[in-house]
A and B are shown apart, each in its own frame.
Chain A
Amino acid sequence: MEVNFKVQRFDPESTDLVSHYQNYQVEMTESSTVLDGLIKIREEDDGTLSLRCSCRAAICGSCAMRINGEAGLACNTKIVDVIPSDGSPITIEPAGNLPVIKDLIVDFQPFWSKFKAVEPWLQPGEIEPEGEYLAPEEDMIHLAGVVSCILCGACVSDCTVLEVDDNFLGPAALAKAYRFSRDPRDESDNQRLAQLNQPGGVWDCTRCMKCVEVCPKGVDPMDRIMLLREKVMDAGHNNTSGARHANAFAKFLKNSGWLDELRLPVLSFGIFNIKAMIGLIPLGIRSQLAGKRPPIFHHKLSSAKEIKKIFEKVESKK
């Protein structure tokens, strides 16, 4: 079967320093992967095409790249699954949100520095266990998903917040932070959670689920971030606008069954955050001036009582 690839090229030694696309045509079989195709191009057609790979079996994590605009491992993506139905070529680009070194090779330095920032190692308490530190199975089994991260960077490539802000720790590092924060042998939770509560930490995620969708290992970074948020709040860090937002949201819902998106931000910023409020007020006022909505009071749903009961019952179990 004849396959067309459109590959983004970048040569750091070129004079104009801009990337461009190059088309290749290769003969492949039904069972070939995207990586097979790229290697074939490199070996038979164009030896200057640069890419990273090693295991070819979705283990080493070195071949993450964008395939038709979405991050994935080239070695576990079959060509037949990604050939566009309209006959256009398969588009191959380097992973996003990391600087390109050459062609499909990106610089992982920012990835590692964020990883390091969450101190991804066990930090036991003062008193060392006498022998081996045994962790009960039920405390570890739920970490099976998150420890299967192969550090491929697919999630980082497509994270919508990293696209606008380098400062965000990002999905891979935060998922790893969760892994250590939930390890019964780790006793540095207080510092970890305080750090994760800072700007650039758990609250900066916009819950877009891109990381969940592209992760080839089912790590579900976003879900880990949400669990970290819960932990951060449970540990008493309730003074961020993220925590205030979640708390105000829950309170609104508990008391009336629904919520009003135009009223909520006031509570999330915190009543005393005058600066943020001034930035925000125009929406409320503009909204009302445009007659977008009448200045109604927040009413309760007819079954607000039943909803409140559910809140009380489930919250008491926590």
Chain B
Amino acid sequence: MKYAFYPGCVARGACPELYSATLEVCEILGIELDEQALEGAACTGAGVLQEKNLLLADTLNARTFALAEKSGLPLMTICSTCQGVMSQANQRLTEDPEYLAKVNETLADEGLEYKGTIDPKHLLWIIAEDLGIDFLESKIVRKLEGFKFAPFYGCYIVRPSKALKLDENPNRKQALEQVIETVGAEVVEFPGSTLCCGFPILTINPKNSQTMVANHTIDAKDRGADAMVTPCPLCHLNLDGYQPNAAALAKRDIDLPIIHLPQLVGLALGIAPEKMRLNKHLVSTKKLLSELAVAP
């Protein structure tokens, strides 16, 4: 299966480990990635550009979709936020032909046109829907038995349900849990798994943002999680990068590694942790990795 790969800004900048892990995992799963098709595609706007100018943000996303159409490939993302922002933009563009025509007028300057045929898909959904959980299971060489992982989705891959077509694909609401179980680990249920990580208000209201980090990581930790798994690099940035601040705010240790979805899958596929830069996290994964190394 081949996809036009849209890595998003974070995997290209602040979370290079997500990029490496994705390439490794896709190779083993037989997901072929065209890294050139969307090389020049802009940032989705991440919901922020939308605050300033919705039409502008929709135009940039339409341009990305038009580039994907040109490549003839389906579009793959690895970021919950990109997924949500693209799905919402796509909904506005495909629901209203007049709006699409207006956007296409701008794209025409560059000789592009969006016809409305793209259905952006996160790697998580590709694993659960396009490849199938059984296929994933067949590729696993190392069951992560005895480990407990807390799923953390990121708002944009669970809401709004209409743009994300959750009613048509009810599996999407449980996909992360399914992957955790398929790799042989146990799911830690906790109240925050579909709530906000606090990233969008990181600079606006650091205290609220860090309280969210503290609440989620402490809830998961106290329920026995060895790590938290997320398909969203922005959630990762906040939950990992600001966990020390959150721990200080909560006046207690937390020490909960936050790993990216492909890193979790990669461990079960037998990929060396360093190849997925698991040794480069801010909250150390050392303990987790050494336990994995000695686990039967």
Contacts and interface: CB of A to CB of B under 8 A. Distances in A.
A293 B52 contact: no
B14 A315 contact: no
A246 interface: yes
B237 to A, nearest CB: 6
Contacts of B17: 292
B171 interface: no
Interface in B199-253: 199-209, 211-212, 215, 234, 237, 241-242, 244-245
A292 B212 contact: no
Given A229-B51, A261-B10, A279-B245, A206 B200 contact: yes
Contacts of B56: 310-311, 314-315
A257 B205 CA distance: 27
B263 interface: no
B282 interface: yes
Interface in B108-144: 109-110
A210 interface: yes
B272 interface: no
Contacts of B198: 206
Interface in A214-273: 226, 229-230, 233, 240-242, 245-247, 249-250, 253, 257-262, 265, 268-269
27 contacts: A161-B208, A164-B208, A164-B212, A205-B201, A206-B199, A213-B159, A226-B51, A230-B52, A230-B53, A245-B203, A249-B46, A249-B52, A259-B13, A269-B203, A279-B206, A279-B245, A280-B203, A283-B282, A292-B15, A294-B16, A301-B39, A301-B40, A303-B40, A306-B63, A307-B60, A309-B110, A311-B56
B281 A290 contact: yes
Contacts of A210: 155, 159, 195-196
A192 B266 CA distance: 52
B94 interface: no
B55 A314 contact: yes
A206 B39 contact: no
B248 to A, nearest CB: 10
B280 A291 contact: yes
A253 B12 contact: no
A261 B49 contact: no
A318 B109 contact: no
Counting from the closest, the 10 A-B pairs by CB-CB distance are A303-B40, A208-B196, A209-B159, A268-B203, A314-B56, A260-B13, A164-B211, A160-B196, A261-B14, A208-B155
Interface of B: 9-10, 12-17, 39-43, 45-56, 59-60, 63, 106-107, 109-110, 155-156, 159-161, 195-196, 198-209, 211-212, 215, 234, 237, 241-242, 244-245, 277, 279-282
Contacts of B205: 165, 199, 203-204
Contacts of B199: 206
Contacts of A250: 48-49, 52-53
Given A290-B280, A293-B13, A310-B63, A207 B47 contact: yes
A235 B108 CA distance: 32
Given A286-B282, A290-B281, A306 B110 contact: yes
A291 B212 CA distance: 26
Q: Which of A161, A257, A269, A298 has the most CB of B within 10 A?
A: A161
**Interface SS, B side:** helix
Contacts of B42: 253, 257-258, 301, 303, 307
Nearest to A212: B160
Interface string A160-183: 110011000000000000000000
A16 B15 CA distance: 49
A186 B281 CA distance: 52
A226 B277 CA distance: 37
A276 B160 contact: no
Contacts of B196: 160-161, 206-208, 210
Contacts of B160: 209, 212-213
A293 B60 contact: no
B113 to A, nearest CB: 14
Contacts of B159: 208-210, 212-213
Contacts of A307: 42, 60, 63
A240 B51 contact: no
B280 A230 contact: no
Given A260-B13, A261-B10, A261-B13, A313 B204 contact: no
Contacts of B212: 160, 164, 206
A253 B204 contact: no
A41 B12 CA distance: 56
A233 B52 CA distance: 8
B88 to A, nearest CB: 9
Given A206-B208, A307-B42, 14 more contacts: A160-B195, A164-B211, A206-B209, A207-B196, A208-B196, A210-B195, A246-B48, A249-B46, A253-B43, A257-B43, A258-B43, A282-B245, A298-B13, A302-B39
A154 to B, nearest CB: 14
